[in-house]
Amino acid sequence: MKNIVILISGRGSNMQALLEAELPCRIAAVISNKADAGGLDIARQHCIPTAVVSHRDHPDRASFDTALAQVIDDFHADFVILAGFMRILTADFVNRYKGRLINIHPSLLPAYGGLDTHERALKDGVKIHGCTVHFVTPDLDHGPIIIQAAVPVLYHDTPQTLAQRVLHEEHRIYPQAIRWLCADQIELMEDGRVLLRRHKQIGYALISPSLE
């Protein structure tokens, strides 16, 4: 059975979705860079070991990442899962866990990498928005894509209402991606694309607004 370690910085709603998904793996630990992260209490309620590696205790990103990696490795992680972990990781850290470091991002990558994704989508007037689970690479928010979910952008949407609709899908697709990884159903190809074994894709179009 695979071991996963989850990294958080706050309330950890995606982490909670993973804990409640009955995944075919052992959640070895939840680690936060903030001692007051609400997700730590949720993890403890699920009897998951927790740890804190505070970025404030380190003079730079490299030393923080080194300390974080040491704690992760103590739990013998097969996969490291970012669930609202609000730190930009160094290239050395990312490469240390190449092919084993997973993130979820609130946009349909490669569009809208970075912050304020919902505000930017509304400003641009896009009709379809969503979320993406991807492998992490040193190129921020541009790693190989595992799974995506799309939602319509409604005319009355605010960043908050759109974020809520996207978050609902995040809680659906993140456990699915981890389930595939733990079942060895995902292969990261040399060309950077992700091959999902034994999975049939449906070839219909998602159109928003719908056709009349």
Contact 154, 129 (CB under 8 A): no
**Of residues 46, 105, 142, 199, which has the active-site annotation?**
105
Catalytic status, residue 129: no
Check: CB of residue 107 under 8 Å from CB of residue 94: no
Round to the nearest angstrom and report the end-to-end CA distance of the chain.
Answer: 49
Q: Indicate which residues carry an active-site annotation.
A: 105
